[in-house]
Structure 1
């Protein structure tokens, strides 16, 4: 369940300042530097942590008020599109690696270079870390933590089934056998070994990188129809063997924690981003664990790379650029803020914050840090920014085609041909 606008604003210090609006109204734009709007998507846990940091910031910066808005995944992008059309984007808003290039090129983001290092003190992150949020030579956001793709699994379910847990060098062939075994061992209706992963672009990207290719290359699709056919064939074969959740379950997944089959208790394994383990564990009664995505062959490339888990960007139409940058600096560099945030948005970029929070992390949070460390010798080079149209490709092409395949309305070969045809028409380079 997501925190809606009314419930979030009711708890915001912005209410006390007379800045709240009704659940059906719009949040007003502010001309004063002391009043900021912030917008993000995520779980209730993320909303609470974010709200607590805004309260801390307001307590340390008298006269500053921040009104926040937490939305569901689909609702967020719809709202952002509306704001872009009306030139009323929130002063601070959340993006991710797959969307920062797309939205910055469409004018949604303010270039932040002028605020570095006077306001945004991010030198300690390292130059490579800033490259993660740099598009066409300009800094359009600040990473809120490091993460990578991951395989989550229900450790309790594995133990009950007497099946060895996945290892870091698990192959896709081994994964498929595990998924089928888990479905059988579960012995209950509407419960399967794993997801129908054909609709996850980031997993497909890792799959391709294990084979020397990538999702995008030189501003275009980086794969061919044979690659896509092999991908779809793998998932269809596994679905028919009973190793994936049913189509009607998988289509509920909006790339948010509370819609994922693992979080819904419909599967023993799930594929997501490493920082999300914290949110998944909050929804699961069983013990969850984390390891690398399966790979093509033992000893082969993992397909993984470090990425900024999530990103704060500043709205391109803001009149409060300096104030927004100052809030972001606090969010990523203040030790007290870091202790509130933990690793829910990824392992902190700041070495100082990272060191300060390690002793207070719970076992689940520590597991995400250990995972990032485990990847140290497994990660490849960070890819070039996603091309314009990548968000639409994911949401309007990649997922719908996978859904049609799962419902047996098309074949792997037909789906692959469509993916290339519609993908080329969507990606603008």
Structure 2
């Protein structure tokens, strides 16, 4: 059953499950019929973990039912837009760093400050962790774990080809050479060294940060035409040399695990978020390994920063704000829930939960934790919240332009000019 593309009723009908409120203390009983709607996107594995936590919750919270909906990435944002237009946003819904600012400014999220610390017991996370989900001095979500960008690679393919494994000091030039050599070593059709990364805004952001710039700055674009042209030229040159997947393969990527070229068995390397290593490994035949994204020069800035892997926010139209906050508190603070969730949504922000889950982590999950620890001396400051229009910029401008480039319908110079000109019209501070 394709869990991540189905709607579930968690309660007396559909899947018999629910989500628990509270975190180890006495949990109140709710009047029969209290119902919360929860919505997220992700893989089958994420859906299963969430549903298992739901079962745990229902056992601790009499009278509460959760209507849960899990879906693919693109379908999720369409559904959320429909809910916003109808003023019927899910009580609890999933966001991530690139969208929380945008959606909170559009009025989709309920400010959670009134629930801290009475209901949301997140003091142990540290003030800096709460800043990751704070927009305009209000708390609009709770991070479900820490992660950062990452380079995943098929270790067996590297070893078979006799090529050195990528390390943290790998430069972009070295990466490009590896990608071309991997394509040649693969020796088969429809298999390449790496992705056509021109369409990943988070990789572009790291690329810019390595050069002293950023994707956004002061509520506007943080880069110019020359920066974008250099970016596009790199990927087009690499594509023409055979180091990236073909355009028709890359355009399948909807920023979900099951559509990524690495997960599809079309490339030896992939770029994603560190917590997703768990999901990738589940559908990959060979052992995957993880390291930082390539950097401009050895010893130079990594471009990385810690980010909340995913975020639970509360819908602004909810009639059950307190109950929704209690659900989130359980999700991030209950040790048994943490053992079920592992690090699939990132390394837990709660020190107590991290300590509780460590003995039970499998080698892949341990690798994800080690990666987050490895970055502690290499991360820069967390960027300012993305401006209004950033989601539209990514989905309707950045990715389509990169796709046109990969299909040779435009040039790096033309693509760069268009990205900046149309980007300025899309981004609203």
Shared fold (TM-score, shorter chain, > 0.5): yes
Match of residue 145 from structure 2: 145
The separation in 2 between residues aligned to 1:37 and 1:349, in whole angstroms, is 24
Match of residue 319 from structure 1: 319
The separation in 2 between residues aligned to 1:64 and 1:359, in whole angstroms, is 32
Q: Any residues of structure 2 matched to 1:43-122 within 5 Å, and which?
A: 43-122=43-122
Change (3 A) 1:32 1:298: farther
The separation in 2 between residues aligned to 1:6 and 1:298, in whole angstroms, is 46
The separation in 2 between residues aligned to 1:258 and 1:385, in whole angstroms, is 28
Match of residue 391 from structure 1: 391
Match of residue 15 from structure 1: 13
Q: Any residues of structure 2 matched to 1:327-346 within 5 Å, and which?
A: 327-346=327-346
- Is the 8 Å Cα contact of residues 144 and 346 (structure 1) preserved in structure 2? yes
Q: Any residues of structure 2 matched to 1:154-233 within 5 Å, and which?
A: 154-233=154-233
- Provide TM-score, normalisation by structure 1: 0.95
Runs of 4+ in 1 over 3 A off after TM superposition: 4-9, 16-20
SS of alignment partner, residue 15 of structure 1: coil
Match of residue 22 from structure 2: none
Change (3 A) 1:19 1:278: closer
**Per-residue deviation, residues 145-186 of structure 1 (Å, max 9, x unmatched):** 000000000001111111111011100000000000000000
The separation in 2 between residues aligned to 1:356 and 1:59, in whole angstroms, is 21
- Is the 8 Å Cα contact of residues 8 and 15 (structure 2) preserved in structure 1? no
Larger CA deviation: 171-180 vs 51-60: 51-60
The separation in 2 between residues aligned to 1:146 and 1:45, in whole angstroms, is 19
**Per-residue deviation, residues 312-353 of structure 1 (Å, max 9, x unmatched):** 000000000000000000000000000000000000000000
Post-superposition offset of 1:6: 4.7
Change (3 A) 1:75 1:375: same
The separation in 2 between residues aligned to 1:345 and 1:19, in whole angstroms, is 20
- Is the 8 Å Cα contact of residues 103 and 109 (structure 2) preserved in structure 1? yes
- Is the 8 Å Cα contact of residues 17 and 51 (structure 2) preserved in structure 1? no
The separation in 2 between residues aligned to 1:101 and 1:4, in whole angstroms, is 25
- Is the 8 Å Cα contact of residues 2 and 44 (structure 1) preserved in structure 2? yes
Post-superposition offset of 1:8: 3.5
Match of residue 247 from structure 2: 247
**Per-residue deviation, residues 347-385 of structure 1 (Å, max 9, x unmatched):** 000000001101100000000000000000000000000
Match of residue 28 from structure 1: none
Match of residue 362 from structure 2: 362
The separation in 2 between residues aligned to 1:266 and 1:8, in whole angstroms, is 32
Post-superposition offset of 1:13: 2.7
The separation in 2 between residues aligned to 1:336 and 1:395, in whole angstroms, is 36
Over aligned residues, Cα RMSD in angstroms?
A: 1.6
SS of alignment partner, residue 317 of structure 1: coil
Structure 2, unmatched stretches of 5+, are: 19-30
The separation in 1 between residues aligned to 2:156 and 2:17, in whole angstroms, is 46
Matched, 1:134 2:142: no
Post-superposition offset of 1:2: 4.8
Change (3 A) 1:217 1:33: farther
SS of alignment partner, residue 94 of structure 1: strand
Structure 1, unmatched stretches of 5+, are: 21-30
The separation in 2 between residues aligned to 1:113 and 1:162, in whole angstroms, is 54
SS of alignment partner, residue 282 of structure 1: helix
Match of residue 372 from structure 1: 372
- Provide TM-score, normalisation by structure 2: 0.95
Change (3 A) 1:410 1:32: farther
Number of equivalences: 417
SS of alignment partner, residue 408 of structure 2: coil
